[in-house]
Structure 1
Amino acid sequence: MPTIPHRGIGGRVAYHRSVARLTQRQLADAASIHVGTLRKIERGARGASDNIVESLAAALGIDPSLLVADRAQASSRIAAAIPALSAAIAAYDLPDDGPVRPLPELRAAVSEAVTWRLASQYVRITRRLPELLGELFRATPERDREVAALLVSACRAADAVAFKFGAYDLSARFVELMRWAAAQADDPILTASVAYVRTETFFACDAHAKGLRALELALDAAGPPDTPPAIAARGALHMRAAVIAGRAGDADAADTHLSEARRLGDQVPEAIYSGTAFGPSSVRIHEVSVAVSLGSAHVHRALDVAREWAPPPELPAERRSGFYIELARAQLWSGFPNDAFESLKIARRTAPQHARDHRWVREDAATLRRLKRASAEELTSFAEWCHAT
């Protein structure tokens, strides 16, 4: 069925083109469209199809949702794609017949999906992952360890969408599929990364004590941290354990796991290891998360971190956005509503899809709207953007 061309995106395209310091000719060439088409789009003389929006966004290195005039379209498209993700794994052991690309091409496609996940580019994930998952199932992960490892990474990208948009049952199915594929890969580091992701299941149902126990069992089962990837895998588990211990109200366990994460983080450079960012900066961000998880009596620790440090731009957008979302809550609880609103706006600029559908963003925006009736226009616009009530 043909798509209705997006209208009103010309100004957004021109803005992001100027930020990228590209001429119209350069952007048109990078997006593989005619420069005359781009000129018409920018001056509002014509709309842009989904394919053109995708091509322009890819050329600009941004998510397509940043170009769509009505941001609600992005969320509705993602929600509408959830059933396709569910269908893609419903019969993973009975894949449909079809082509399978060579392993290097599959590797590149999965790497691209991981990049989208780390940048909170959920529209791209929902458009590409159902087909990619089917292809990986046809590649028989139970007989090829590398295919199994690629399947773990692809499922994690799809799970990011399912969990983010509240499809918790589907998210749990993706987690179980990741656990199955990790067993086929027979890679202890990959198994540890899946244990990290599995914690989402416990967050979703507020089973924090059980989640902490599951992570501690994963730490017991993990191999010796004798290489940077193994150190990072173990450190990431400690980071996650510190946060869920905070949610469980266990301050001693939270501090113990955070200290161990800090020690391990100092041994490796900040980088992406098995799909998870780990290193000194990631641990610093989790210090803020732990402080907020422990409640209002501990949020001064989050403010102390933020006074002297900010996430560097090389960190994944989702992680940087999460820092400012957590910081906003700490600032709000500490009686600094203006600072809290500034932090929410930074979170929005950093990873708009991640911030827009984050429960805490909606809750805190609604609270700020009640507290700051005088600044109605900007706050109302923000609240409407994230559907705060």
Structure 2
Amino acid sequence: MADHIGQRIAARRQSRRMIQRDLATAAHLSLSMIRHIEQGTRAPSPSALESIAAALGVDPARLDPAFAGTSHRVHAALPLISAAIAGYDIRLDPPARRREELRREVAAAVAQRLAAQYGLIAGAAPSLLADTLALLHHSAGEQREDAAVLVVAAARCADAVAYKVGAHDLSARLIDVMRWAAAQTGDPVLGTAVAYTSAETYLAARAYRVGQAALEQALDASPAPVTAVAAAARGALFMRTAVVAARAGAATTAYEHLEQATGLAAGLAEGVYLGTAFGPSSVRIHEVAVAVSLGQDHIGRALDVARTWKPGAEVPAERQSGFYVEVGRAQLWAGQPDAAFESLKVARRLAPQHVREHPWAREDIEKIRRIKRADAESLSAFAEWIGAV
């Protein structure tokens, strides 16, 4: 595993089949600087790191987990995202990009969302929302339905950014856009997928009981799992409903929903269905989330899972990272601060921006520092990076 920035840059460059000169040209830096950075004899400045990351098509935080500049760019993009959906149901000019180009760029944004690369999403989201909405308004028949699917995916990517950085009003508006666009398709399975995302509104407001009721109504309305996509959408909604029910303190109901998700996952390979990861591994991760959401009396179940199982590459980076954040909280409650810190470090390595914006991670680092009563350099550096000091 690469253990310094230069090695991570070199590994990413090689995976893209670029030579050092290609990277230097694309990043507008000297070949000598790229060589020294990859050798570890020179640290890139923040601007150089952003240029290299852009040339490699990744968020800078994937190359340097301690990089904090992405948050500034994300927050700066929020007003532009808000403006892009201000009149989402109003027909104005045609889109600036062709349908196929938009389809490719939406797919790229979905991949970035699953990898928690919020800086890249934030930069692309305003124009992507504007153009997919324009495409919908200037399409008819099956092409209009196709455009509506693109709007749902683009809005969900923007929502991931808004929700993670705490812009919950904007997140709720983006979910409204998703509902509106999904209704244009006449596809109830897509509606089920949107209901999964709508749980964020209830989680953000801590309105768990009404959230549980709303999601259970969506489950009642969801179509029968006669296809893999329908089964995955319904199973994912059971997973999310289980977590919300757990936050509401309804342990029996939460585990019943989780059991339903387990049954639906048994016949599916782990994968991404309508933009949501689902399968046996995702359900196992949610088993940990449910146990932690129910509180300290249930952490034994979370620790049992973590003791015998870890998510692998079959699960998107953001969801893997979430697993380790949840496990870290269980370990902290169990009186294992060192293990909790190790879990948070793994979570950060997998998806830095996801961890940096995660309120539980920030709270837990603060508690670990108080428990340790020591100013260990790595712990203090992590706490400073996440904004806990």
Q: Structures share a fold, TM > 0.5? A: yes
Q: Deviations over 1:297-319 (max 9, x none)?
A: 00000000011100012311100
Q: Cα distance 1:249–1:34, how it changes in 2: closer, same or farther (>3 A)?
A: closer
The aligned amino acid for 1:334 is A
Give unpaired runs (5+ residues) of structure 1: 1-10
Matched, 1:19 2:11: yes
Superposed CA deviations along residues 215-267 of structure 1, whole A, max 9, x for unmatched, are 11111111110111011011001100110110000011001001111111101
1:36 is displaced (CA, Å) by 7.0
Cα pair distance change 1:331/1:351, threshold 3 Å: same
For 1:212 and 1:361, how far apart are their aligned partners in 2?
25
Identify unmatched segments of 5+ residues in structure 2: 37-41
CA 1:173 to 1:307, structure 2 compared with 1: closer, same or farther past 3 Å? Answer: same
Tell me which residue corresponds to 2:22.
29
Query: How far has the Cα of 1:185 moved from its partner?
Result: 1.2
Aligned-residue sequence identity (percent) comes to 50
1:209 deviates by 0.8
Q: Are 1:257 and 2:257 counterparts?
A: yes
Which letter maps to 2:253? A
Deviation at 1:357, TM superposition (A): 1.2
Query: 1:55 corresponds to which residue?
Result: 54
The whole-number CA distance in structure 1 between the counterparts of 2:82 and 2:330 is: 36
The CA distance in 1 between the partners of 2:362 and 2:369, in whole Å, is 10
- In the alignment, the residues of structure 2 paired with residue 42 and residue 191 of structure 1 have an alpha-carbon distance, to the nearest angstrom, of 50
Tell me which moved more, 87-96 or 228-237. Answer: 87-96
> How far off its partner does 1:98 sit?
5.3
Please name the residue that 1:220 is paired with: 220
* Structure 2 CA distance for aligned equivalents of residues 133 and 369 of structure 1: 42
1:288 aligns with 288
Q: What code does the residue aligned with 1:364 have? A: D
- Displacement after TM superposition at 1:25 (Å): 5.8
Partner of 1:381: 381
Find the residue that maps to 1:368 and give its secondary structure.
Answer: helix
Deviation digits for residues 319-357 of structure 1 (CA, Å, limit 9, x no counterpart)? 000000000000000111111010000000000000011
- Secondary structure, counterpart of 1:166 in structure 2: coil
Counterpart of 1:113 in structure 2 is 109
**For structure 1, which segment, 359-368 or 79-88, has the greater mean C-alpha deviation from structure 2 after superposition?**
79-88
- Structure 2 residue 211 is the aligned partner of structure 1 residue 211: yes
Structure 2 match to 1:5: none
Residues 311 and 67 of structure 1: is their aligned pair in 2 closer, same or farther, counting only changes over 3 Å? Answer: closer
Number of matched pairs: 375
- Check conservation: 1:266, 1:280, Cα contact below 8 A: yes
Partners of 2:227 and 2:235 lie apart in 1 by: 12
Superposition CA RMSD, Å: 2.3
What is the aligned counterpart of 2:124 among 121, 124, 128? 128
Q: Per the alignment, in what secondary structure is the counterpart of residue 277 of structure 2?
A: strand
Q: Which amino acid aligns with 2:154?
A: A
Q: Specify whether residues 376 and 56 from structure 1 end up closer, same or farther in structure 2 by C-alpha distance, changes over 3 A only.
A: same
Q: Distance in 1 between matches of 2:119 and 2:21?
A: 22
Q: How far does residue 373 in structure 1 lie from its aligned partner after superposition?
A: 1.7
Q: Secondary structure at the match of 2:272?
A: strand
- Measure the CA separation in 2 of the matches of 1:197 and 1:312: 24
Query: What's 2:334 paired with?
Result: 334
Q: 1:72 to 1:139 in 2, by over 3 A?
A: same
Is the partner of 2:14 in helix, strand or coil?
Answer: coil
Cα distance, 1:86–1:38 mapped onto 2, change above 3 Å = farther
CA distance in 2, matches of 1:25, 1:187: 42
CA spacing shift, 1:104–1:30, aligned 2, 3 Å: farther
User: Is the contact between residue 13 and residue 19 of structure 2 (CA under 8 Å) also seen in structure 1?
Assistant: no
Q: Distance in 2 between matches of 1:35 and 1:86?
A: 32
Structure 1 consecutive aligned stretches of length 4 or more whose deviation exceeds 6 Å: none
What does 1:308-387 align with in structure 2 at a 5 Å threshold? 308-374=308-374, 376-387=376-387
* Alignment CA distance shift 1:125-1:220 (3 Å): same
Cα–Cα, structure 1 residues 174 and 306, in superposed 2: closer, same or farther, change >3 Å?
same
Query: Deviation at 1:28?
Result: 4.0
2:304 — aligned with what? 304
Asked which structure has the greater RCO (Cα within 8 Å, sep 6+), the reply is 2
Q: Which moved more, 1:64-73 or 1:163-172?
A: 64-73
